[in-house]
């Protein structure tokens, strides 16, 4: 009976302040902090501290568990508004694009170079192997890969696959090939990041594999004298898409390196510390893949001029290099 009386008196003395805090929080949750009056803004931190003090006392004297649960919920809600970030979703996205993504990538130069080495190393290896002996193409792809786009295809047919001729019936095949490339590269980017925790070994394998697939296809067009044309067709979106793959691989290596070389921390703690930077890079890769899809779905299908294709590819390359690696002035406090 004494415990119930104690709990009743405890609530009676403080409940008015709890209710005031609850009303302020409800108003802020429904309409944002900007809807609070000056008086409510000044009262919020004071009422929050009183609620935290009440929670501490309630726990120490083992009051009614319902009171403790209520105060825990109230303090948690208030903490977000007193100490949490007071930014909108749009402001957070702008901060990500202006600062967070740039910093995460610029701080990962060495893992980016490592990822590029594996990816383009596989590309170059497959390219030269196929130029020496086109049987390598069938080894890499199998006999059912992209029926028609293979070493046995004629120059005219291969040329028709990289230019959108309205009088030809190859538009559907061109769209299917484009869709395959995007889906394949998006999956590679996702897995290159996600599997980085295994010391980066699966990441390295996926990068080499994807490089081999593209390099061997590139060799087919090069061998037919269409290397220049195929490069323009591929790179109008490929600069952005392939850059995204390399960065996703870099994110995987960031985590893999933290797991392989944890220093004085446990492997789990080391991976957790590196996870934020890696996740920021990976989220940015999603943005790049969306941009690449737009370039692929519209620009590459509608533009037949080699000069324009190369111009767009060069422009996107310069844009990404400047965006990621040119130092920026710190924002004024």
pLDDT of residue 170: 47
pLDDT over threshold 50, residue 215 = yes
Look at residue 333 and tell me if it is in a domain. Answer: no
Are 226 and 314 in a shared domain? yes
Please give the C-alpha separations between residue 46 and each of 20, 40, 74, in angstroms, as whole numbers: 11, 10, 14
Are 116 and 167 in a shared domain? yes
pLDDT over threshold 90, residue 43 = no
Q: Per-residue pLDDT averaged across 65-94, rounded?
A: 76
For residues 66 and 11, give the distance between their C-alpha atoms in angstroms, rounded to a whole number.
Answer: 11
Are 72 and 165 in a shared domain? no
pLDDT over threshold 70, residue 188 = yes
pLDDT of residue 300: 64
Nearest to 194 by CA among 102, 278, 268: 278
pLDDT of residue 127: 96
Are 198 and 132 in a shared domain? yes
pLDDT of residue 63: 65
| Mean pLDDT across the chain | 82
Query: Is 290 or 220 the better-scoring residue by pLDDT?
Result: 220
Are 256 and 308 in a shared domain? yes
Look at residue 12 and tell me if it is in a domain. Answer: yes
pLDDT over threshold 80, residue 204 = yes
Per the structure, the complete domain to which residue 208 belongs is given by 93-325
Q: Per-residue pLDDT averaged across 10-21, rounded?
A: 82
Look at residue 332 and tell me if it is in a domain. Answer: no
pLDDT of residue 186: 73
Nearest to 84 by CA among 16, 120, 33: 33
pLDDT over threshold 70, residue 66 = yes
Q: Per-residue pLDDT averaged across 209-236, rounded?
A: 91
Are 154 and 260 in a shared domain? yes
Condensed to tens digits (0 to 9), the pLDDT of residues 277-333 reads: 888 898 899 889 888 888 877 776 678 888 999 999 999 999 999 999 998 765 444
* pTM for the predicted model, two decimal places: 0.69
Structural domain ending residue among the three candidates 61, 86, 111: 86
Are 133 and 266 in a shared domain? yes
User: What is the full DSSP assignment across 100-169?
Assistant: IHHHHHHTTHHHHHHHHHHHHHHHHHHHHHHHH-THHHHHHH-TTSSTTSSTTS-HHHHHHTSS--TTSS
Look at residue 127 and tell me if it is in a domain. Answer: yes
For residues 195 and 89, give the distance between their C-alpha atoms in angstroms, rounded to a whole number.
Answer: 29
Q: What is the CA radius of gyration of the chain?
A: 29
Structural domain ending residue among the three candidates 32, 54, 86: 86
Look at residue 331 and tell me if it is in a domain. Answer: no
pLDDT of residue 1: 45
- Give residue 179's pLDDT band: very low, low, confident or very high (50, 70, 90): low
**Which residue shows structure tokens 């296809």?**
217
Q: Per-residue pLDDT averaged across 208-231, rounded?
A: 92
Structural domain ending residue among the three candidates 86, 101, 131: 86
- Give residue 243's pLDDT band: very low, low, confident or very high (50, 70, 90): very high
Domain count, the chain: 2
Are 120 and 260 in a shared domain? yes
Look at residue 195 and tell me if it is in a domain. Answer: yes
Condensed to tens digits (0 to 9), the pLDDT of residues 85-144 reads: 555 667 778 888 888 899 999 999 999 999 999 999 999 999 999 999 999 998 888 765
């Amino acid at each position: 009976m004494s415990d119930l009386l104690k709990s009743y008196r405890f609530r009676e003395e403080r409940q008015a302040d709890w209710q005031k805090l609850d009303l302020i929080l409800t108003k802020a949750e429904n309409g944002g902090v900007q809807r609070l009056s000056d008086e409510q803004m000044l009262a919020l931190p004071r009422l929050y501290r009183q609620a935290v003090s009440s929670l501490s006392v309630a726990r120490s004297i083992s009051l009614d568990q319902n009171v403790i649960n209520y105060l825990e919920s109230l303090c948690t809600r208030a903490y977000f508004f007193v100490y949490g970030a007071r930014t909108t979703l749009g402001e957070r996205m702008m901060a990500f694009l202006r600062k967070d993504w740039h910093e995460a990538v610029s701080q990962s130069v060495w893992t980016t170079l490592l990822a590029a080495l594996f990816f383009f190393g596989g590309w170059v290896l497959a390219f030269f192997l196929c130029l020496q002996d086109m049987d390598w193409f069938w080894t890499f792809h199998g006999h059912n890969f992209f029926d028609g786009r293979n070493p046995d295809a004629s120059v005219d047919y291969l040329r028709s696959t990289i230019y959108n001729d309205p009088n030809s019936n190859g538009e559907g095949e061109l769209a299917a090939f484009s869709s395959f490339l995007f889906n394949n590269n998006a999956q590679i980017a996702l897995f290159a990041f996600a599997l980085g925790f295994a010391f980066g070994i699966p990441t390295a394998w996926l990068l080499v594999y994807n490089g081999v697939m593209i390099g061997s296809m590139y060799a087919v067009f090069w061998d037919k004298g269409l290397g220049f044309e195929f490069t323009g067709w591929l790179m109008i979106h490929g600069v952005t898409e392939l850059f995204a793959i390399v960065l996703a691989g870099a994110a995987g290596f960031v985590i893999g390196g933290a797991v392989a070389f944890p220093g004085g921390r446990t492997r789990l703690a080391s991976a957790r510390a590196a996870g934020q930077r890696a996740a920021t890079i990976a989220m940015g890769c999603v943005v790049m893949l969306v941009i690449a899809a737009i370039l692929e779905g519209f620009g590459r299908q509608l533009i037949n001029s080699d000069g324009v294709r190369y111009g767009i590819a060069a422009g996107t390359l310069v844009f990404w290099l400047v965006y990621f690696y040119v130092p920026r002035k710190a924002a004024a406090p």
